Chain A
Amino acid sequence: MLILTRKIGESLIIGDQIRITVLEVRGRQVRLGVQAPGDVVVLREELVQRLAEENLAAAAFRYQDVEEIISSWKPKTVNER
C-alpha cells in the first residue's frame, strides 16, 4: 500500500484521470472529493463486501422454497399496481 499524507485541500492524482481531494476533516470522519471520468466506478468499499454477502445468501436458497413461491405468487392486477 502506498501511504501519503495530505492536508485539507490537498489532492492525490491517480493515473491520468483521477483526482482525490481531502475536503474536510471533522472528528473521525474525512470528507473526500473524487474527480474521475464517468466510466470509472467509485464505490465505498463496504458496499462491495455487502453485495458479495448478499449474493452468497441468495445462492443458498432451497429449491422447495422456490416451488412454494411459484405456487403462491398472485399476479398483480392493474388496480394493485
Chain B
Amino acid sequence: MSAEPDQPPAVATRLTIATRDLGARTVGADEIITFPLGLAGFGQCRRYVLLAYPQPAPLLCLQSVDREQVAFVVTDPAKVVADYQPRAINGAMSALKITDPQDLLVLVILTIPPGHPEQTTANLQGPLVINTHLRRGKQLILEDSRYSLKHRLSV
C-alpha cells in the first residue's frame, strides 16, 4: 500500500459531475471520498461523493465520480438495525487512521430489487467505513455471522 498523507488534501475547487439519476451536480473537491481499493466488483471506481436526494430522506446516494452510471443507495446502519457493532470496525478504524471517533462514518448499501422496493435489503456484511477527516474509505467484508448480506428492512 503506498503511503497516504495524513493531512486531508488541500482543495478549494468545485467541480461539476454527471450523476446516474440526479443530473449534473456541483460539489466541492473536498467532498470527494476516495476508496483506495474501490468496492468489491467495482475496483476501478475509487472516488465517490455523498449526495442528498431531492426529497428529505434517511437515504443518501453514493455517486461514483469516475463512472456516471455507478451509484449506490446507502443509509446509516442505525436506521436498519439496533446496535450495529461489527468487531472488524476497530481494525478498519486504525487502517483508515481514524483517531477521533467523530471522524468515523459507517454506511450500509441497500439492494433494491427492480420493481420490488418492498423487498429492499441492507448489506450488513459489507459496510462502508469512512474517515470523514481524511476523506478515505473502505468496504469491509465481515466474517461475523450475526450480520447478513441481505437484511430485510421493515419499510
Binds A, one of B7-15, B34-42, B129-137: B34-42
Shortest Cβ distance from A55 into B: residue: B41
* A10 at the B interface (CB under 8 A): no
Q: Mark A36-78, 1 if CB is under 8 A from B, else 0.
A: 0011010110011011111111111111011111111111100
Tell me if B112 and A81 are in contact (CB < 8 A): no
Interface residues, chain A, CB within 8 Å of chain B? 38-39, 41, 43-44, 47-48, 50-63, 65-76, 81
Partner of B71, one of A38, A47, A59, A73: A59
Q: Are B112 and A70 in contact (CB under 8 A)?
A: no
Given A41-B141, A61-B112, 7 additional A-B pairs, CB 8 A: A51-B139, A59-B72, A65-B117, A66-B53, A66-B112, A69-B57, A69-B59
When distances are taken between beta carbons in the complex, the residues of chain B under 8 Å from A57 are: 111, 113
Which 9 pairs from chain A and chain B are nearest by CB? A52-B41, A63-B21, A65-B117, A52-B40, A61-B112, A70-B57, A51-B40, A58-B111, A55-B41
7 A-B contacts, Cβ less than 8 Å apart?
A43-B143, A44-B143, A54-B150, A55-B40, A63-B20, A65-B120, A70-B59
Q: Classify chain B: how many residues form its interface, as a range.
A: 35 or more
